Structure 1
């Protein structure tokens, strides 16, 4: 049975990184669209799959899994020799470095990205006023973190070594939305950070996703 992906076609959030892993690993799947504006994610049927009423989630021949980062790890472990190699290496030390980079993304990067996104997009979309002081403070903290990235990326090509891994890929969950809002967090950063971001944000599979949305043909690299 082909894997089922419950998500939107729109490339953002957890859907973005799961779809990118599916594309990079060339994993066939069936997209089952969940329409958030009509609350399809809150139906009893969907709540069985995802008790928090969110997306994405997958059904892999009866095995149901939610939370995008967990899904990405699962897919890489199930298809280690298919498509892009090394996204989630099996070696003890290599995997530890990936988990280290993934933890940095989760604790030192995305919280500040989400603060900016909340102020510039979510609050206005709900009729609330943006607090520019919160935006400025979040960006200031984010830039401090990216200064540390600059040092790390001066030693290795990617965050966990010289191969593209989930530690890098997870950064595509939310950061691209800032550019959509006209916020450029990269151009004035150091050369290593700029080189790294250009590399991961122009991968063919990612560009295809951004151009076409999530479709069952995005598995073609």
Structure 2
């Protein structure tokens, strides 16, 4: 039975990241389009899979799992010997990946989503942006990127010198900031920019221009025909 991904078609948020893992790992899947506009995610049938009524959700031959980061871990683990290596097998190496994923969730995600809600979310709903919230988010995100700059002054990627799930997960929402006029991720001029080639900006350019991600962004999420 082919894996089912319950999601929309736009490569963004948790759905986009799960679709990116599926692409990087070359995992065939069926896209089950979930129409948020009509409340399809709040039906009894959907709530039986995800009690909070959110996307993404996967059904892997009867095993149902929700929450994007958890799904990504599961897929990277189950298909470890297929496609792009995303999750190392060594205990210490995996611990470093988990550490970086936790950092993303606790430190990177909050200011990114704060800004994104103002510059993307509110205009989509016809609401006015609150510049003070945007400014506060930028200050917070810049401070977090200052720490990332230190980390990336020592290793090429966040958990070492190999691209992993920890890097990939950062694409969940941050890529949309530029769409809303806040291009901090591509223009951040960290202190290592002239001393070390993997400053935040070049790390960001590296992960955000991966062919699978560029294709997803251009074409949207598509399952097998």
Please tell me the TM-score bracket, short chain as reference. over 0.9
1:119 deviation in Å? 1.9
Partner of 1:189: 189
Structure 1 CA distance for aligned equivalents of residues 75 and 125 of structure 2? 36
CA contact (8 A) 2:8 2:15 kept: yes
Alpha-carbon separation, structure 1, partners of 2:91 and 2:179 = 38
Deviation, 1:133, is: 1.2
Q: How many Å apart are 1:21 and its aligned residue?
A: 0.3
After TM superposition, the score normalised by the length of structure 2 is: 0.93
Q: CA deviation at 1:129?
A: 3.0
Conserved in 2, the CA contact under 8 Å of 1:109 and 1:145? yes
Which residue number corresponds to residue 81 of structure 1?
A: 81
Deviations for 1:6-27, whole angstroms, at most 9, x for unmatched residues?
0011111000110000000000
Shift of 1:194: 0.8
* Equivalent-residue separation in structure 2 for 1:64 and 1:26 (angstroms): 20
User: 1:156-207 CA distances to partner (integer Å, 9 max, x unpaired)?
Assistant: 0000000111110110000011111121013132231011000000001101
Alpha-carbon contact 2:119-2:181 (below 8 Å) kept: no
Matched, 1:95 2:94: yes
**How well do the aligned residues superpose, as a CA RMSD in angstroms?**
1.3
Listed as ranges, the gaps of 5+ residues in structure 1 are none
With 1-10 and 182-191 compared, the bigger mean Cα shift is at: 182-191
How many equivalent residue pairs?
A: 217
TM alignment of 1:90-129, pairs within 5 A: 90-129=89-128
Indicate the SS of the match to 1:49: coil
- For residues 155 and 104 of structure 1, what CA distance do their matches in structure 2 show? 17
Q: Which residue of the partner structure matches residue 70 of structure 2?
A: 70
Residue in 1 that maps onto 2:220 = 213
Question: Matched residues in 2 for 1:129 and 1:206: separation?
Answer: 30
**Corresponding residue for residue 202 of structure 1:** 209
